[in-house]
Amino acid sequence: MTLAQKIEERFFKVLMILATYFILFILAIIIYSIFEKGVKSISWEMLTQIPKGGYYYGKDGGILNAILGSLSLATGATVLAFLIGLPVALYINVFLIRNKKLVNVIRFLLDLVWGIPSIVYGAFGFMLMIFFGIQTSLLAGILTVTLFILPIMIRSMDEILRTVPIGLMEAAYSLGSNKSETAFKIFTRQSISGIITAVLLSFGRAIGDAASVLFTAGYTDNLPNSLMEPVATLPLSIFFQLSSPVPEVQNRAYASALVLTLIILIVSLFSRGIGKRYHKTKINF
Amino acid sequence: MSDNAKISIRDLNVYAGKSQILKDVNIEIPKNKITVILGPSGCGKTTLLKCLNRLTDLYPELRVTGEIMIDDNNILQAREDIYKLRQQMGLLSQRPYPLPMTIYNNIAYALKLRGIKKRREIQKLALHYLQQASLWDEVRTRLREPASRLSIGQQQRLCLARGLAVNPEIILADEPTSALDPISSQFIEETFLKLKNEYTIVLVTHVLRQAKRIADNVVFMYLGEVIEQGSVEEVFGNPRMEKTKQYLGGTFN
Amino acid sequence: MYLLNRQQRHVVNYSWMIVSLLLVAFLPFFLFLGLYLKSFLLLHDYSLVDLIFSREWRPSNGKFGFYPFIVGSVWVTLVAMIITAPICLLTAIYVTQYTKKYFLRIMHPAIDILAGIPSVVYGLWGILVVVPFISRYLGPWLEIKTMGYSILAASLVLSIMIIPFVLNILIEIFKSIPTELKEAALSLGATQWQTVKSVLLRKAMPGIIAAFGFGLARAFGETMAVLMVVGNVVRLPKSLFDPGYTLPALIANNYGEMMSIPRYDSALMFAALLLLIVSLFFNLVMHFFIVKYNKY
């Protein structure tokens, strides 16, 4: 090796190490600043009360409306997306096994919708609301977020279902199972841990996205009580509180951000744990 | 079809794209005997087996022509109820594919597909089939454990028990011992010998000694063609074709 | 035991699958058609060229010039990509070629967490850290007057947001390159970096381009975080330190008023349509790069 080569080798290796640790460093900074700011302003009161009069000028109250609102909206959307997404993923991998071309076209379409930004779904949802004469409401929010997380969920389910070996399918068929039994009884069981991960991943996306609920879910100080009423969400509560000039309210935005980040971190930890737990019945090929 | 033939294959051709995997295959498989399909790997044995229970349907690239008569019913023509048709045959593949559920449910699933609904009866039959596959003694205390915890040899016997549970008349086995240790292989072979009074068994293998040990009938295949078939005494004792002699003598290239 | 028999259950399941599949498969067409019909009013009264290249944005006077927003979006996206691209490329090479397997096991959760942090939280972090950094340190140091809320702030926040996204694709691509290829180069006496240059990068080039393309598309549509730090001033930015405005931010900021001014709703739906077209176009093109890559 010549000296020039040696220097080049060294130089790029140092750059690579710098880049890698830069990413870890940035992650640490983000987590640190959210926690540092959030922990200072979080309180029991904030987590258990709804906004009272003058809350947005710094008076008493909490963000329970947004916490419960976000949880119900994300849960509703995740359930709906699951009911539509799982059949699609199973259909591609069990029913269409003979038709590779069609499968490729469907996967291509899924890739396309997967990349569409959430604000476009938000605008589309808003348009539908006007068309059908629906007000901003929990229902409108759920429907919009469902469309937005559907491609995310299907894609990650598809990635898992693709790895089911054809031998398992042959085994199921040789016992006389029909296609939908093979799909819903055998394929789902074999992929259960991956399916749960896909669902939780989508839940995390649903609860964290603001752009799609901005037009459709509205905002309210009340707890969610009806599908047809507007509902508060955590991302929007952060956004609104942060734009207030009152320092106390801004501090609550930091606390709300901490709550949202914690929910998402817990969900992602949970998905790893559950994945391990349900791994037992999976056959390793 | 001769009187005691369970399966009779006539002019079977299988194409994959432009290449031909099986060429004019004609085989008679007698009832309640073990018929061994013998040949070097890549000669189309597995494809032949998959034709028998229409698993070829899963592979879009395969095109199948000819006739496969099972009890005077051409299964290649059958449009309705391929699922019922497959229940006439239990399949044992090269490596075990237990279903992703408990040991007990592996059998119960098959029994339910057969239409048995009463719990008592399912329990009784599960015991029966696990015994038939010589697995009962090893799993009697761990029926609720996932099947994935069994050793690979036990898994293969579980698959056999599961295959028997759909009450087939035929057992199709595709090199069922190739992934197993010698003890487990012996278990499977002994079970086959016990089962042949009740079932017609088609076993694909490339292991000569295995064929000698358990075969009643032998079909020797090479490059997608049937070279020779007959009883084990005829084919092993007095092979007519040059290719068969070479293969049996180990001077095959 | 069951309400329906096997065959009936099969039919129910089957129709359920088909209906779901049709819904998903036609989603892009529904989106396009819906947004197109809504923006039709605007497209009917103004020429497309005027809309895209006119600089004047005064909805109450009926002036709808999208140029400042398009320019703002393009700036923010490109600068973010310029920052992200080398970081991701270097990191992806490092974690797949230079480190032991356990290091990837540490990196994966880190990438997952970065990907999971919601957009508003990134925005908040931008306000807390990036904006003050620019207005108090970087600006004065370069002797530029800036409020901190600027194209640069948005680009910096955005560049971090798309790291997990681009990095994941790159890692997958580098992992899929067979070891034999690298070993062949190494056995010829090439150094590790030479192998990376001559084999890895060349082989993976279509995949790398696709990864960056997907990243661009993602960055272009990002809404909340950018909106929170970009400044939201309708003006053509002259430098990175000027505030700007982006297409997604335009939609998100004005949905409240859009029903009160004629054609305003149409204009915002047109902005959404533009975003949709850009996203579909990029994903389409990059898809072919990936297909090309997979052929090798």
C77 vs C279: CA distance, rounded Å? 13
pLDDT in tens, A123-169: 999 988 888 888 889 999 999 999 999 999 999 999 999 999 999 99
pLDDT at C1 over 60: no
Q: φ, ψ for residue C52 (rounded to 5)?
A: -80, -35
Option in B86, B98, B114 nearest A174 (CB): B86
pLDDT at C152 over 90: yes
Task: Please compute the mean of the pLDDT values over residues C257-286 and round it to a whole number.
Answer: 88
B83 closest CA partner among A187, A179, A184: A179
Name the closest residue on chain A to residue B156, using Cα atoms. Answer: A171
pLDDT in tens, C157-173: 999 999 999 999 999 99
* Paired tokens of A18: 């710098």
Q: φ, ψ for residue C276 (rounded to 5)?
A: -60, -45
- Please list the residues that pair with B231 across neighbouring strands: B217
C4 domain-assigned = no
C24 domain-assigned = no
pLDDT at C201 over 90: no
pLDDT in tens, C251-269: 998 877 767 777 888 899 9
Option in A97, A173, A282 nearest B86 (CB): A173
pLDDT for the residue numbered C262: 75
pLDDT for the residue numbered B106: 93
pLDDT in tens, A1-16: 678 888 888 899 999 9
pLDDT category, C182, cuts 50, 70, 90?
confident
B172 closest CA partner among B67, B110, B74, B90: B90
Q: How far is A194 from chain B (nearest CA, A)?
A: 14
* Paired tokens of B206: 């490339």
Q: Identify whether the C-beta of residue B165 lies closer than 8 Å to the C-beta of residue B104.
A: no
C249 domain-assigned = yes
> Residues of A numbered 38-77 whose beta carbons fall under 8 angstroms of chain C's beta carbons: which are they?
none
pLDDT category, C178, cuts 50, 70, 90?
confident
Task: Please compute the mean of the pLDDT values over residues B21-35 and round it to a whole number.
Answer: 91
Suggest the residue from C22, C100, C124 to mutate for an interface test with chain A (most A CBs closer than 10 A): C124
pLDDT category, B1, cuts 50, 70, 90?
very low
Q: Residue C163 sits in a domain of what CATH number?
A: 1.10.3720.10
Number of domains chain B contains = 1
pLDDT for the residue numbered B42: 78
A150 closest CA partner among A207, A110, A123, A192: A110
- Residues contacting residue B84 through CB under 8 Å, at least 6 positions apart: A176
Q: Which residues of C touch A159 (CB under 8 A)?
A: none
Q: Does A173 touch chain C (CB under 8 A)?
A: no
CB atoms within 10 A of CB C285: 13
Contact A9 C251 (CB under 8 A): no
Suggest the residue from A102, A103, A175, A195 to mutate for an interface test with chain B (most B CBs closer than 10 A): A175
pLDDT at C296 over 60: no
Contact B53 A181 (CB under 8 A): no
pLDDT for the residue numbered A275: 67
pLDDT for the residue numbered C224: 92
Q: φ, ψ for residue B26 (rounded to 5)?
A: -130, 115
CB atoms within 10 A of CB B200: 24
Residue appearing with tokens 């259960």: A192
CB pairs under 8 A between A and C: 235
What's the mean pLDDT when you consider all of chain A? 89
Under CATH, which architecture does the A55-277 domain have? Answer: Orthogonal Bundle (1.10)
B91 vs B81: CA distance, rounded Å? 18
> Touching B: which chains, 3+ CB pairs < 8 A?
A
C211 domain-assigned = yes
pLDDT at B249 over 50: yes
Lowest mean pLDDT among A201-210, C5-14, C182-191: C182-191
Residue B68's domain comprises 5-249
DSSP for B20-62 reads EEEEEEEEEEETTSEEEEE--TTSSHHHHHHHHTTGGGG-TTE
Q: φ, ψ for residue B10 (rounded to 5)?
A: -125, 125
pLDDT category, A69, cuts 50, 70, 90?
very high
**How does strand B5-16 pair with strand B19-30?**
antiparallel
pLDDT at B253 over 60: no
Contact A264 C248 (CB under 8 A): no
Percent of residues, chain C, with pLDDT higher than 90: 51
pLDDT at A171 over 90: yes
Lowest mean pLDDT among B238-242, C34-38, C154-158: B238-242
pLDDT at A48 over 50: yes
Number of domains chain C contains = 1
The residue ranking higher by pLDDT, A36 or C292, is A36
Suggest the residue from C4, C19, C23, C24 to mutate for an interface test with chain A (most A CBs closer than 10 A): C24
pLDDT at A283 over 80: no
A58-A61-A65-A66 Cα dihedral, nearest 10 degrees: 40
pLDDT at B81 over 80: no
Q: Which residues of B touch A172 (CB under 8 A)?
A: 99
pLDDT in tens, B200-246: 999 998 888 888 899 999 999 988 889 889 888 888 888 888 888 88
Name the closest residue on chain B to residue A165, using Cα atoms. Answer: B97
B127 vs B140: CA distance, rounded Å? 9
Q: A247-277 and C101-116 are packed helices; what angle lies between their axes, rounded to 10 degrees?
A: 130
pLDDT category, A284, cuts 50, 70, 90?
low
Q: How far is C20 from chain A (nearest CA, A)?
A: 5
Lowest mean pLDDT among B145-149, B187-191, C98-102, C172-176: C98-102
Residue appearing with tokens 């409108």: A140
Residue C140's domain comprises 44-295
* Paired tokens of B103: 């040991």
